[in-house]
Amino acid sequence: MVLLSPEVWALDAPYAGGGWTGCPVATAIIGVLGGGNEWTDCQFNVHAALPVEGAALTVMLREWTPAGYVTRDYRNFSATPAKTEEKQSR
């Protein structure tokens, strides 16, 4: 059985594995999942804080172990939305 927690962190630099410095933005402890099983049709409401401007946002999938939480997977993403061109109406 595995206790999983997806977390969003505002880091000082993009995450590349190992240790990091930053602050949590959002966390959801989603529960225990046995090997070979899956959850389907899940919806979660997660309270989140605004990240510090310029922070490197990272989503981490973390697992509880006897040594504490361990990051099992992660994805970095931009804190600033991409600019889109405005369409002109005629």
For residue range 30-54, what is the model confidence (pLDDT) as tens digits?
A: 888 888 888 888 888 888 888 888 8
CA gap 27, 38 in Å, rounded: 20
For the entire predicted model, the pTM comes to: 0.74
Band of residue 17 on the pLDDT scale cut at 50, 70, 90? very high
The predicted model gives 45-68 an average pLDDT of 88
Burial pattern 37-60, b for ≥16 Cβ within 10 A else e, equals eeeeeeeeeeeeeebeeebbbbbb
- CA distances 81 to 57, 77, 84, Å, are 12, 10, 9
Please, what is the Cα angle at 43 between 4 and 70, to 5 degrees? 15
Instruction: Give CA angle at 61 (38, 76), nearest 5°.
Output: 130
